[in-house]
Amino acid sequence: MTALRCSQTSSERPHAVRRFLIAPYIQVFGMRQLFPCWDIPHLKATFTISIKHQRDLKTLSNMPIKYNSSNRSLTAEVWTDFYTTPPMSTFQIAIVITKYQSIRISENISLWCECYSEERSLKFQFAQKIINNITLHLKSEFSEINIPKMDHIAIPNFPQDGISKWGIIFHTEANLIYDKTLDSVMRKVEVARLIAPKIAYQCFNNSEILDLLIVQNQYESLHLDSYFNMNPVEITNLSNINSIFDFPRYMKAIIILRMYQNVVTDEVFRSNIRTYVSRQMFSSVMSYDFWFMKNNLDGAYYCNTSLNEFLTWIQYQHYPVIIWKQNTIGSKVLNILSQNYNTTSYRWLIPLNLKEISLKKNNETCLSSYIMYARFISFPSDYMMVDIRQAGYYRVKYDSLIWDDIAKYSDDTAGDYERISVINRAKIIDDAFHLMMEHQLNVSVFWNLTQYFYSQETNFVVWYPLLKVFEYMSIIFPFFTNIDIMKEKFKELLENPLKTLGYDEHFKENELTKCLRQEIVKWACILERDNCEQAASRKLQQHLRNPETNPFFEKCSNLYKKCEKVRKITILYIKILRKIFIRMMFTTINILQSTQHISLHQLHLTIINRANVTLSTKNGIIYVLNKYTYTYSTNNLEFPLLYKLLPGLYTFKIEVFGHLTKKYDESSYFFRNIFKGNNVTFLIAPYIQVFGMRQLFPCWDIPHLKATFTISIKHQRDLKTISNMPIKYHSTNHSMTLRKEVWTYFYTTPPMSTFQIAIVITKYQPIRISENITLWCECYSEERSLKFQFAQRIIKNITMHLKSEFSEINIPKMDHIAIPNFPQDGISKWGIIFHTEANLIYDKTDSVMRKMEVARLIAPKIAYQWFGNILRITWWSYFWLHDSFATMFGEEAVAKSFNNSEILDFFVIQNQYESLHLDSYFNMNPVKITNLSNINSIFDFPRYMKAIIILRMYQNVLTDEVFRSNIHTYVSKQIFSSVMSYDFWFMKNNLDGGYYCNTSSNKFLTWIQYRDYPVISWKRNTIGFKVTNIWLQYHNTSYSKWLIPLNLKEIFLKKDYKTCISSYSNTMRLIYFPSDYRMVDIQRAGYYRVKYDSLTWNVIAKYSNDTAGDYESISVINRAKIIDDAFHLMMKRQLNVSVFWNLTQYFYSQETNFAVWYPLLKVFEYMSITFPFFTKNNDIMVIINGCYI
C-alpha cells in the first residue's frame, strides 16, 4: 500500500479541477514515503508543517494556517505555514493542495468541493447543515478536547471514503449530495449516517432516528452473523491490515457497546468514554483499558462478575438464542430462561431485563458461563417478555403460550403499545421471522403476530423488519407458483396503515412518517393494489392542471418511480409532449361473417367526436357508430349496430387523441426519451408482445392477426424518423415550412402483427454500413465513432450470412439504434433493432474475449428478424422456440464471421455447462403462460440455453440438412401468414433410422415438457470373453422419461454406433470384446450427464495420457463434457476425487484449446470463491486435498 496519494481529475471532465492529496489511506505505512520517521502507530510527536506551492492553489493540513509568505524572486509561488500540531501519530498527517472552492459553514468549519455553479452548490446545503449540527453536538459532548478547525473535502469518485484525519475529513462527493426534487426522505438519513453514523439522529432533533439506527444495526448484524464471523479481525502483522475493512463487522460492536451502556447506565458509560479518550488522545502509552473502568455489573442484574466479561461478545463468534419456557404449577407459572448456543458452544454474559407487560413490572437477571438458568414465578394473567431496551445482541425464542400472549396483548390494545417499546416491537417480528425460516416457529404464529402488530402500526422503525421481510420474500415471487396467497397477506398488512397515512404528505409530518408512507405506497403498487394506480392518476392530473403548485417529481417521486404499474400514465406527458396527440385512422376491414357489432382494442385513447366514427362500404353506404361501450379489464372498445353487416369490404374511420406512455412491464409501449446535449430520441415500440399498439391507435391487437401498415409521421425538420420500412418520400406545405415541420411517408409494410410496429424520432447520426444497413448512435466525435467500427463489421458479416441462409425472405432494410443505458436490450422489430450502446463498443485496449461478447450480443437480434414475425393465437407457447432459433443461427453466424469453427464448439460447451448447472437447482424449461398478465415471467430467467441444446441434439439426430430444410419451410410458411398451418416438430415423421428409435420426432418435446435432465450410467460386466454394457437412465429430481438418442464411440478403433433409450425402455445391453473401449460421443449436443464405471474412467484417462494431447478420437466438445461431468459427479460424491484429478492431469497436460479449458476454468472460479471461508477439515478442502491421495 502506498503511503503517498496523489490524484488528479480527468481532463475530459468539464471545469476540471486539479487536486493533490497526501494522506495515508490506512494505518499501514504512515508517512514514511514523504519523510523518514518513526512510523509506529502508538508513537506520537508534534509536527510543524510548511508547504511551498503555486500562488493560485490553496493548501490545507491538520492545523489552521498561521501565515503566508513569499519571496520577490518567486512571484508565482508562496509559502504557507501551519500552526504546530498537538502530539499525534504520523498516520494522522494529511496535506491537500487544490483549486477547490470553499464553503464556509461556521467560523472554523469549511466544506471544499467542485462548486462551479450555484445549482451544484445547492446540492450540498443539506450536508452543510448536518456537518454543523453534528460538530456542535460532539463539541458539547467532548468539550475538554479542542479541535481548532475542520475541513471537509468532497472528492468525486473518491475510492476510500473512510479517511478521517485530525482536522481534515475526506468524503466521496456523492455521499454528501441531497437533491430534494429527486431523492426520497430516507436519503437524508443516509447522508447523515455517512457523515457521522453514531450521532446522525441529533441533526433531526428526533429521538426516533436513534431507534431506527439501533433496529437497522441489530437487523443487519444478526442476519449476517448467522453466516459470517462478525467479530473484529485479529491482526498479527501489517500485511493483513486491509482485512479490517473487507466486511461491515463493526455493526456488531455498536450493538455490544449499546448493551454495555444499558447495563452500566448512560451516565457511567459516557463518563468512562470521556476518561478513556482524554487519557489516550495525546499519550504514547496505553495506560487504561476501557473494559476495566468499572469493576462490577450493576447489582440489579445479580451477576456478581466484572465488566470485562463483556469481552466474550467480541471474542466469540455468532450470538446466543434465549429460550423462554413456561410450566404451570398449580395456580402459578414457573418461567425458565436458558441459553441456546446457536452454532457454537460458547457461553455469553447476558444481562436480561424481563417485563410484565400489563403491570409494567421489570425483573432484571443474568445468564453467564456459570449461571445456566434463570427461574422465577409469575401468575397466569401476567404477560411476560424480554425487554430489549436500547440493544440486545441475541434472539428470543418464546414457547407457544407466550407467543400467543404477545399476539393477544397487541390485539387487545389495538395499536396502543406504549408498554412494548419501539425497539422491542421491531425485534419481536425480526426474531419471529428468523425462527420461522429456520423451521423453529409455526408459520401461523408469525402471521398472527404481523396481523395484530401492524394493523394499527404507523411507526417506521417498527415497520423496518417487516419491510425487509417483504424484500426477502419478493425475490422468490418469479420462481414459484401459487404465490398469490402470500401476496394477499402482504396486501392485508398494508391496508390499514395506508388508510391512516393516505397518499399525501403533510408539511408538519416528521421525516420517518414520510419514509413509511413512501415504502407502503411502493409495496402497495408492487403488489398491484388498485388504489395505488388511482392515486397516481389523481396526482398526475393535479400536476398537469397546475405544474407550478403541484410539482410532480418533488412530492411524488417514490410513488411513480417505484410503482411500475403507474408509469403508463406519466413520463411522456411530463417530459416530452406537454400536449396530447391527435390521430385520424382509416382501416380497411374484410368482414367474413354477418355481425351486428364491431370490437377493437384501445388503451388510454379518447374519441374526439362520436359522430365522426363511421363504417362505409365501397358503394358509399355510411354507418355512423356513435354509441360504444368500453371494458377496462380487456381494453375492448365495442360499437353495437342496429343492423347486421353483410360480409364484404368496409372502411372504418375514427379520430382519437391521447398521450404516449412509458412502462417497462406490461404496457403497450416501450417509450424512451433521452436528452444529452442537443440530442433527443423518442422510441415508440411495444416492449414485449402483450398489448401491441392499442395505445397509439384502435386496432385488433391479437398476436396471430396480421395486416399491412402504411405509416406517415409529421415531425420537426431537424429530426430524423425511422420505422419498419424504408422512407418513400417527404412532403411539406407553406404553414408547415413556417413551423419547420415535415411529413415523412414510409413504404407499406408486409403483413405483420401490431407488436412488430416501431417508430423512432431522433437527432442521432447515421453510420452507413451498407446500402440497406445503418447504425444510428451518438457519434459526436471521431474518437467515439471509432469505438463502433468492430460492431459495424460484425453487423455487416452476420447480416450477409443470414441473408444467404434465408434468401427466400426479403427484409428491405435494417436500422440498428444504439441507445446509452437502454434498460431493455432485447427489443428487435421488423427492420429495426435496438441495442444498449455499451454492448456495441469495442476498444483495442479491451481483451480479445470482448470481441466475442459484442458479436454474441448482436447476432441473435439480427437473426430474430427472420423469426420475430412468426406469431399465432397461442404464440407465447412458441416464444422459446423462436428465441432459440434466433440464438442458434446467431451463434453460427458469429462463428462464420470469425471464420473459426472452434468458436461454435465453445458456444455449445458454454451453453451446456451453464444450463446443466442451473438445471440442477432451477426449472430451465419454458414457462407455461395461460394469460397475458403472466407474460413477463418468460423473461425472468435465462431458460433458453436449455432449448438451444435440445435443438442442437434434434439437429444431430435428423441430420443438418433435414433440420435446416424444416426450419426454412416453417419460417417461410408462417412469417406473413395469419394462420398456423405447420408445426415444426411434426415436419418429419420419424427419427433417423440409424438410431433404431422407431418413434416420431415430436417425442423430442419431452425434453421441453419435463424438468431437469437424465444421467446415463455406464456399467461394464465381463461375461467370459465378452463384455456387457448395461445402460441405465435415472432422473435428477423428476420422474420423467426422455427419448435419448446416443452416439457411442470405440475409442481406439474409431468405430461409431448409434442407439436410443426411449421413454418405454430405460435399460440397454450391448455386447462386445474386452479389448474394445467405448464411450458416449456428445458430438454437437447432449443434454445429459454420463457416469462411467471406474474401469471406463481409467481407460479414458489412460488414452488421454498415451496420446499426449493428440485426441483426434475424442472431439473438443466431448473432452470438455467429460471434465464437466466428472467434476459434477465428484461434488455429488458419486466419483472418487483421485479419478477427477487423474483426468485433469492427463487431459490438460498438453491441452491448448480454450473451449476444452472452459469447464476447468469454471472449476477454478467455483473453488476459489470458497477458499477464504473454509478450514482444512471442510468438505471442499477434503476434496482439494484429494489430489494428493
What CATH number has the domain bearing residue 588?
A: 2.60.40.1730
Among 438-442, 610-614, 777-781, the least confident range: 777-781
User: What is the rounded CA–CA span in Å between residue 962 and residue 976?
Assistant: 23
Q: Which three cell numbers stand for residue 380?
A: 397466569
- pLDDT recorded at residue 1138: 86
User: What is the rounded CA–CA span in Å between residue 830 and residue 822?
Assistant: 19
H/E stretch holding 429: helix 422-437
User: What is the rounded CA–CA span in Å between residue 520 and residue 531?
Assistant: 12
Residues facing 572 on adjacent strands: none
Taking residue 97's Cβ as centre, other Cβ atoms within 10 Å add up to 19
Among 204-218, 641-655, 820-834, 1169-1183, the least confident range: 1169-1183
Q: In the predicted model, what is the mean pLDDT of residues 944-966?
A: 82
Regarding whether 777 and 702 lie in a shared domain, the answer is no
- Position with higher pLDDT, 938 vs 582: 582
Please say if the pLDDT value at position 814 is more than 90: yes
pLDDT digits (tens, 9 = 90+) for 218-242: 777 777 777 666 666 565 555 555 4
> What whole-number percentage of the chain has pLDDT above 90?
4
User: What is the rounded CA–CA span in Å between residue 646 and residue 648?
Assistant: 6
In a domain, 442, yes or no: no
In a domain, 516, yes or no: no
Please say if the pLDDT value at position 815 is more than 90: yes
Among 518-527, 683-692, 805-814, 839-848, the least confident range: 683-692
Q: In the predicted model, what is the mean pLDDT of residues 461-489?
A: 74
In a domain, 742, yes or no: yes
Please say if the pLDDT value at position 285 is more than 60: no
Alpha-carbon distances, residue 52 vs 23, 56, 59, 69, 80 (angstroms): 17, 12, 9, 9, 6
DSSP-derived 3-state class of residue 361? strand
- Position with higher pLDDT, 213 vs 818: 818
Residue among 534, 524, 525 at smallest CA distance from 492 = 524
Regarding whether 1164 and 1126 lie in a shared domain, the answer is yes
In a domain, 228, yes or no: yes
For residue 772, what pLDDT band results from cuts at 50, 70 and 90? very high
Regarding whether 729 and 678 lie in a shared domain, the answer is yes
Q: Which three cell numbers stand for residue 235?
A: 491482526
Residue matched to cell numbers 519523510: 35
- pLDDT recorded at residue 1042: 78
Average pLDDT over the chain, rounded to whole? 73
Regarding whether 1091 and 952 lie in a shared domain, the answer is no
- Most confident stretch, 305-319, 322-336, 440-454: 440-454
- pLDDT recorded at residue 1126: 92
pLDDT digits (tens, 9 = 90+) for 111-138: 888 876 677 778 888 888 888 888 887 7
Amino acid identity of 695? Q
Regarding whether 189 and 217 lie in a shared domain, the answer is no
User: What is the rounded CA–CA span in Å between residue 722 and residue 1156?
Assistant: 45
pLDDT digits (tens, 9 = 90+) for 146-204: 788 889 888 887 766 656 788 888 888 888 888 877 777 778 877 877 776 433 333 34
Regarding whether 221 and 154 lie in a shared domain, the answer is no
- pLDDT recorded at residue 206: 45
pLDDT digits (tens, 9 = 90+) for 1165-1182: 888 776 666 555 555 555
- Position with higher pLDDT, 525 vs 640: 640
Regarding whether 891 and 786 lie in a shared domain, the answer is no
For residue 553, what pLDDT band results from cuts at 50, 70 and 90? very low
For residue 248, what pLDDT band results from cuts at 50, 70 and 90? low
In a domain, 860, yes or no: no
- pLDDT recorded at residue 791: 92
Strand order in the sheet with 384-386: 361-367, 350-356, 384-386
Regarding whether 889 and 787 lie in a shared domain, the answer is no
Q: In the predicted model, what is the mean pLDDT of residues 7-21?
A: 43
**What is the number of alpha carbons within 13 Å of residue 769 lying toward its C-beta?**
25
Task: Look up the CATH number of the domain holding residue 972.
Answer: 1.10.390.10
Please say if the pLDDT value at position 567 is more than 50: no
Please say if the pLDDT value at position 979 is more than 70: no
Q: In the predicted model, what is the mean pLDDT of residues 497-522?
A: 77
In a domain, 451, yes or no: no
For residue 1045, what pLDDT band results from cuts at 50, 70 and 90? confident
Choosing from 1001, 1034, 1054, the residue where a domain stops is 1001
Q: Look at the chain and report how many structural domains it folds into.
A: 6
For residue 24, what pLDDT band results from cuts at 50, 70 and 90? very low
Q: In the predicted model, what is the mean pLDDT of residues 633-653?
A: 84
Instruction: List the helix and strand counts (H, then E) for the chain.
Output: 30, 45
Residue among 888, 710, 920, 677 at smallest CA distance from 802 = 888
Rg of the chain over all Cα atoms, to the nearest angstrom: 36
Task: Look up the CATH number of the domain holding residue 804.
Answer: 3.30.2010.30
255 and 391 Cβ atoms separated by less than 8 Å: yes
- Position with higher pLDDT, 869 vs 801: 801
Choosing from 845, 861, 891, the residue where a domain stops is 845
In a domain, 768, yes or no: yes
User: What is the rounded CA–CA span in Å between residue 859 and residue 828?
Assistant: 11
Q: In the predicted model, what is the mean pLDDT of residues 578-590?
A: 65
Taking residue 775's Cβ as centre, other Cβ atoms within 10 Å add up to 25
pLDDT digits (tens, 9 = 90+) for 1085-1136: 688 888 888 888 888 888 877 776 566 677 888 888 888 999 989 888 888 8
> What whole-number percentage of the chain has pLDDT above 70?
65
Regarding whether 909 and 773 lie in a shared domain, the answer is no
Q: In the predicted model, what is the mean pLDDT of residues 812-827?
A: 81
Q: In the predicted model, what is the mean pLDDT of residues 996-1013?
A: 71
Regarding whether 892 and 820 lie in a shared domain, the answer is no
- pLDDT recorded at residue 364: 73
Q: Exposure string (b/e) for 1162-1184, b if CB count within 10 Å is 16 or more?
A: bbeeeeeeeeeeeeeeeebeebb
- pLDDT recorded at residue 769: 92
Amino acid identity of 486? M
Q: Which domain holds residue 244?
A: 212-315
Task: Look up the CATH number of the domain holding residue 112.
Answer: 2.60.40
Amino acid identity of 43? L
536 and 553 Cβ atoms separated by less than 8 Å: no
- pLDDT recorded at residue 63: 92
User: What is the rounded CA–CA span in Å between residue 563 and residue 540?
Assistant: 13
- pLDDT recorded at residue 82: 92
Regarding whether 1030 and 1166 lie in a shared domain, the answer is yes
pLDDT digits (tens, 9 = 90+) for 406-435: 888 777 776 566 677 788 888 888 889 888
Q: In the predicted model, what is the mean pLDDT of residues 675-690?
A: 50
In a domain, 57, yes or no: yes
Alpha-carbon distances, residue 976 vs 709, 752, 884, 967 (angstroms): 13, 6, 20, 15
Among 91-105, 422-436, 446-460, 760-774, the least confident range: 446-460
Taking residue 588's Cβ as centre, other Cβ atoms within 10 Å add up to 11
Taking residue 1020's Cβ as centre, other Cβ atoms within 10 Å add up to 18
41 and 27 Cβ atoms separated by less than 8 Å: yes
Regarding whether 51 and 90 lie in a shared domain, the answer is yes
Is the Cα torsion angle 377, 379, 383, 389 positive or negative in sign?
A: negative
- pLDDT recorded at residue 812: 92
